[in-house]
Amino acid sequence: MRIDIITCLPRLLESPFADSILRRAIDRKLVEVQVHDLRQYASGPHRATDDYAYGGGAGMVMLIEPIDKCLSLLRSERTYDEVIYMSPDGDLFNQSLANELSLKGNLILLCGHYKGVDERVREHLVTREISVGDYVLSGGELAAAVVADAVIRLLPGVLSDETSALTDSFQDGLVAPPVYTRPAVYKGWSVPDVLLSGHAARIESWRHDMSVQRTRQRRPGLLSDHDGAPKS
């Protein structure tokens, strides 16, 4: 997989890909991540990527021209499955969408700023819009990093334990059950006996029950109103 991220503040994206799982995935060539400085495609002595909005009002708007130039160059070099604009009013990002995107080959993530992009970018140049939550960030860089992280960790070979991603929260429509490690007793606080039993079927049943219970307590919207089963 290749992920291209277009931003006018590329330094904000240095740290997320410099360590841990994402860094190892890049080093092992399981994914290629390229960050593109939008200012390199801007015109004029100041290489401005924004301008005042037609009709007036507070805030600046990202120009269509540098975005179009960058996208045109990238698309001339390879085919992209999705060109995604990180937007507060896009489709809400969730595990199902991360799974879907992890099956793609090449993705472009466009980071917004200011009051957003010229509407013609949304109308003609992107294929979908994604939001990481019902709130506003200073820019799309953190949101793009979140999407990239969630997608990359699902790629084959990225996690040392291939089953780890399959047991993450939300993969089955439930949040994850409680987990414990050594010591078995700490300050009088004990690990549930079932986890020490070595009985695989009982442990699996306990984990499912705890997932349902925790989901009902913390994220009831994920459950059916009738039988407690995950929503389809």
In 39-166, beta strands by DSSP E = 50-52, 60-62, 82-92, 106-111, 128-131
Report the CATH number of the 2-152 domain: 3.40.1280.10
Residue 199 CA: distances (Å) to CA of 23, 133, 154, 204: 37, 40, 29, 9
What pLDDT is stored for residue 166 in this prediction? 55
Global pTM reads 0.86
Q: Is the pLDDT of residue 168 over 80?
A: no
Tally of residues, the chain: 232
Distance of CA 28 to the CA centre of its chain: 21
Domain locations along the chain: 2-152, 169-222
169-222 has CATH 2.40.100.10 classification: no
What pLDDT is stored for residue 172 in this prediction? 72
3-state secondary structure of 186: strand
Q: Which residue has better confidence, 72 or 224? A: 72
3-state secondary structure of 61: strand
Q: What are phi and psi of 128, to 5 degrees?
A: -160, 165
Residue 145 backbone zone (phi > 0: left; psi -120 to 50: alpha; other: beta): alpha
Q: Do domains 2-152 and 169-222 have the same CATH topology?
A: no
Q: Is the pLDDT of residue 64 over 90?
A: yes
Q: Minimal CA–CA distance to 17: which of 5, 94, 8, 85?
A: 5
